[in-house]
């Protein structure tokens, strides 16, 4: 009788340890899956500030597609999350204006581009800019109103990025390196992902599409 009770107790103890091991194993697997998803596939971010209005608003939650830049490269017009040249602890969200080999020209408050390998200069049709920012892309500081021509020749492996709120965005026009010298271009490795869609607030859920500039 005593042996039977002891055997039952041992079986219960064994069952308890097996149950605990199963729970821990499932937790480890879930954490690993989430880690892989956040590292290589998608990740959430919260927008801070007004540098991308009206495309993105302060405190909106966005989902970025990391896989897009594991299998391809950023394109003109992409809205991306990245780390600026002088601060690897922060994440910024801006729009890709110049890709490697492009020449980007700020002239008279407007943006012109000569695509890599081309000779023809074209005015960039930026329909996503609101009325306050149309024709107001100036040199740093963004509200300077200085209409002199500025030319950016984008190096290989780097990108030029601007916020859609051209009058209130710290972007390639203002980026500096650790010595506080101008450093307008963002390396490819600093690009963390393509902004896929707005997740919150619920009333603003929608996917972001890369504009077609016609080149």
Q: Which residue has the higher pLDDT, 146 or 82?
A: 82
Q: Does 86 qualify as catalytic in the annotation?
A: no
pLDDT at residue 16 is higher than 80: no
| Percentage of residues of the chain with pLDDT beyond 90 | 67
User: Are β-strands 103-107 and 150-153 bridged in parallel, bridged antiparallel, or unpaired?
Assistant: antiparallel
Report the pLDDT averaged over residues 171-182: 90
**Separation between Cα atoms, residue 182 and residue 172, nearest integer Å:** 9
Q: Which residue has the higher pLDDT, 91 or 4?
A: 91
Which candidate in 51, 66, 169, 172 is catalytic? 51
Radius of gyration of the chain (CA): 25
- Average pLDDT over the chain reads 86
Cβ-based neighbours of 36, under 8 Å, separated by 6 or more: none
Bridge partners, residue 73, by sequence: none
Which candidate in 66, 94, 169, 172 is catalytic? 94
The two tokens of residue 24 are: 């821990």
Domains within the chain, CATH numbers bracketed: 75-192 (2.10.109.10)
- Residue of 72, 90, 73 lying closest to 81 (CA atoms): 90
Q: Is residue 6 very low, low, confident or very high in pLDDT (cuts 50, 70, 90)?
A: low
What pLDDT score was predicted for residue 24?
62
Report the pLDDT averaged over residues 1-18: 58
Q: Does 116 qualify as catalytic in the annotation?
A: no
Tokens 């998803």 found at: 37
**Separation between Cα atoms, residue 163 and residue 93, nearest integer Å:** 8
Q: What are the tens digits of pLDDT across the range 25-65? A: 556 545 544 454 455 456 899 999 999 999 999 999 999 99
pLDDT at residue 215 is higher than 80: yes
Ramachandran quadrant class, 188 (left: phi over 0; alpha: psi -120 to 50; beta: rest) = alpha
């Amino acid at each position: 009788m005593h042996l039977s009770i002891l055997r039952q107790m041992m079986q219960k103890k064994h069952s308890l340890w097996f149950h605990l091991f199963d729970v821990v194993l499932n937790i480890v697997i879930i954490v690993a899956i989430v880690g892989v998803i956040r590292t290589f596939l998608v990740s959430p971010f919260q927008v801070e500030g007004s540098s991308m209005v009206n495309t993105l608003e302060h405190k909106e939650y966005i989902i970025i597609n990391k896989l897009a830049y594991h299998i391809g490269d950023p394109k003109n017009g992409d809205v991306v999350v990245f780390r600026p040249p002088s601060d690897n602890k922060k994440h910024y969200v801006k729009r890709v204006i110049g890709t490697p080999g492009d020449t980007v020209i700020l002239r008279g408050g407007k943006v012109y581009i000569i695509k890599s390998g081309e000779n023809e200069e074209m005015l960039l049709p930026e329909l996503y800019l609101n009325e306050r920012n149309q024709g107001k892309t100036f040199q740093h500081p963004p509200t300077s109103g200085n209409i002199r021509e500025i030319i950016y020749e984008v190096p290989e492996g780097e990108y030029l990025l601007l916020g859609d709120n051209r009058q209130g965005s710290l972007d390639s026009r203002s980026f500096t390196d650790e010595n506080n010298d101008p450093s307008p271009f963002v390396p490819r490795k600093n690009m963390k992902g393509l902004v896929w869609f707005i997740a919150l607030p619920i009333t603003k859920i929608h996917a972001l599409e890369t504009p077609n500039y016609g080149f």
